[in-house]
Every structure is written in structure tokens, then in C-alpha cells.
Amino acid sequence: MTTTPRRYADPYLAGVCLGLVLLAAFVFAGRGLGASGAFASSAAGIVAAASPARAAANPYFARYLGGDGPWREWLLFEIAGVIAGGFLSALFAGRLRAAIERGPNLGRRSRLLYAFGGGSVMGVGAVLARGCTSGLALTGGALLSVGAWLFMMAAFAGAYVFAPLVNKAWR
Amino acid sequence: MNPFVVAAMIGIAFGWTLERAGLGSAPKLAGQFYLTDLTVFKVMFSAIVTAMLGAFWLSRLGILDLSQVYIPETFLLPQLTGGLIFGIGFVMAGLCPGTSCVAAATGRGDGVMVMLGMFAGVLATGLAFAPLRDFYESTSRGSLTLPELLRIPAGVVVCAIVAMALIAFQFAERLEKRA
């Protein structure tokens, strides 16, 4: 492992590579990338394990329980790959590091609260919108889906309007 | 090939690329919303343009049958509302669901917390789904695409998006120099 972290890749080059990965998903899997679906599927799996009747009666979770069940969902395998790929990339670039990354004026505990809170709020939004930045904005954006472009513009709008209110977190 | 092996391989490439771009680091992503670091925008839009052009031409050449590719469905009001809520969470977290997995995988505790929060948010919304269902199913437009909505050929929409992206990249470079 190198001791000095390598510089990040050029964003346009990384973007073109990401686009080729997405294109490969279209060609070889007949679908795009995703992330929030993996969270939804595992949530459905845990609810089903705790209370099968309740999960089956819940129209949101029930759809993940059909077919091969919530633990054989395509996106779970893809997200396992994302974790492995991110780890390997950081390993080879000397960027593996236990840390809590935060703005210059935010304590570690507050940062973790912001992280958990922000994650929860994204969870609500992703359920309502049926996807997140990967599965809806990126995938649907490339396929010219109207809902994907609407979601993307709304998400950036929401973030820009709210950003000044969380100045403390990042500036 | 086994679809789960394909899924894992695509995921590895996805996670690798996000990490290489620096998108496993929350302060870097947050820079997007204070216009100090526009990496998120540049990566996202060059990815969208690349995959869009690839899908368009592979389909024209008869290599890719787009009718066999799942197009995310449109539900206008839920996606507008969900998008606004998602954006608020995004700037608080500094990571989105996919990049939180990369942050967590590279040792970032904040990434782990975003993943846990995301899971809690999806679980809670799922458990409270009954009163939300009517709204969730409302304003459905199926797999509507921009060329269908605007009634102009797909090639024209593709060209327009490429042109807009190229102009926006110039803007992004200027904004970053100013910051």
C-alpha cells in the first residue's frame, strides 16, 4: 500500500468510465445501476423475518418478497460489488483510512448525527421517488426517463435551497 | 452467465469508479452545493452523456434492444416531492446512498452512519406506507421518455442534452476557478 494517497481521477474521465459501466449494465443485465433498492430489499427481508404476516400485508415490502425473495435481489449483489470495488480502489490508491470526514467547524458527534439524519431523510425521499441518484437519476437520465430528469432537478433544487441552512456542517 | 455474478462485477466497477473520482468523501460531495467543487456534477453528467450516447447508438446499430432494458417509470408528483426531500437529505449527509457504501467501505464512519440512516428511513417509510400509498401511485405516466413527452425525435433530444452538458461543463470550470 502506498503511504501518500494518490490524486483523484479527472472527473470527466471518471464520468465517462462510469457511463461505460452503466452502458455495460444495460447491455449485459438489461437494467441500470442502483443503490436505494438494495436498502429497500434488505428492509423487506428483515421485516419478513421479524413478522412474515406483517411484511406480506405491506404493499411496499411485499413486492420484494416475491420471486426468489428479498435476499436474492439483483441490487444486493450489485451493492456488495460496490463495497468491494470501493474498498479495492481505495486500497490500491492508498486511501483506506478510518476517519469521520466532516466540515472544519463540525464536531465528530454532530457529524455522525447529520450523517444519520441525512441518510434517513434520503430514505424517505428515495421511497417516494422510487429510486435515488444511481437507480433513478443516473440510469433513468441516460434512458431519457421523464421522472428521472424531474427527480434529478428536484433533488439538486432541494439541496441548493437547503444548503445555506446547514452551512455549519460544511463551511 | 449467472445474473448475480454479472451484478457483482458491475457493482465492483461502479464502486471502483466512484472511489477513483473522489466520491467516497463527503466534504468533496458537499462542495457541489456550495459551488466550491463541482465533481458530482461533472462525473454525473459525463456518465449520463456517455451512457445515453452509447445506448442510443447501440440501439441504432441493432446491438442493444432498448425494449429489453427497464426504463424507470415516471410518477410526477411523488418524484418531484421525493426529489426535494432526497436533496435535503443529500446535503445534510454529504453522501448519497451509493457513495455512502463507498465511504463506508474505505473506512469512513460517517459513511456507515449514512448507510444506517438510509436503512432506517426506508424501513420507517415502508412501515408507514399505508397512508402514503395513494400519493405514491398518483400522477403515473408509465415509462414516459423525454422524446415522447416533447414529441421530438430521440436523436434531437440526445444532441440537445450533449450540447447542454458541454455548455454546463464550461460554466462548472469557471465557477470552480472563482471559488
Asked if this assembly's ipTM is beyond 0.90, the reply is yes
Q: How far apart are CA A54 and CA A42, in angstroms?
A: 15
- Residue A119's H or E segment, with its range, is helix A108-129
Q: Which of A15, A96, A131 sits opposite B42 (nearest CB)?
A: A15
Contact B88 A121 (CB under 8 A): yes
Question: Pairing mode, if any, of strands B140-142 and B74-75?
Answer: antiparallel
Reported as a pLDDT band with limits 50, 70 and 90, residue A134 is very high
Contact A112 B64 (CB under 8 A): no
Quick check: A71 contacting B, CB < 8 Å?
Answer: no
Q: Work out how many CB contacts closer than 8 A connect A with B.
A: 524
Reported as a pLDDT band with limits 50, 70 and 90, residue A3 is low
Q: How far apart are CA A153 and CA A137, in angstroms?
A: 9
Determine the residue among A12, A18, A46 to mutate to test chain B binding: the one whose Cβ has the most chain B Cβ atoms within 10 Å.
A18
> Could you tell me where the DSSP H helices lie in A130-166?
139-142, 146-162
* Residue A68 neighbours by CB distance under 10 Å: 10
| Per-residue pLDDT tens digits for B56-81 | 999 999 999 999 999 999 999 999 99
Residue A2 has pLDDT above 60, yes or no: no
How many residues can be counted in chain B?
179
Residues in chain B closer than 8 A to A109 (CB atoms)? none
Contact B98 A132 (CB under 8 A): yes
pTM, two decimal places: 0.97
Contact B120 A123 (CB under 8 A): yes
pLDDT-above-90 percentage for chain B: 98
Confirm if B76 and B139 have CB atoms less than 8 A apart: yes
Q: State the DSSP string of A4-72.
A: SPPPPPPHHHHHHHHHHHHHHHHHHHSS---SHHHHHHHHHHHHHHH-HHHHHH-HHHHHHHSTT-GGG
Both ends of chain A: CA-CA distance in Å? 32
Q: How far apart are CA A82 and CA A30, in angstroms?
A: 18
pLDDT-above-90 percentage for chain A: 95
Confirm if B53 and A129 have CB atoms less than 8 A apart: no
Residue A1 has pLDDT above 70, yes or no: no
Residue B26 has pLDDT above 70, yes or no: yes
pLDDT, position B178: 87
Reported as a pLDDT band with limits 50, 70 and 90, residue A43 is very high
How distant is the Cα of A2 from the closest Cα of chain B, in angstroms? 15
Q: How far apart are CA B7 and CA A19, in angstroms?
A: 16
Quick check: B24 contacting A, CB < 8 Å?
Answer: yes
Contact A128 B43 (CB under 8 A): no
Determine the residue among B6, B17, B144 to mutate to test chain A binding: the one whose Cβ has the most chain A Cβ atoms within 10 Å.
B17
- Find cell 476557478 and name the residue: B177
pLDDT, position B68: 95
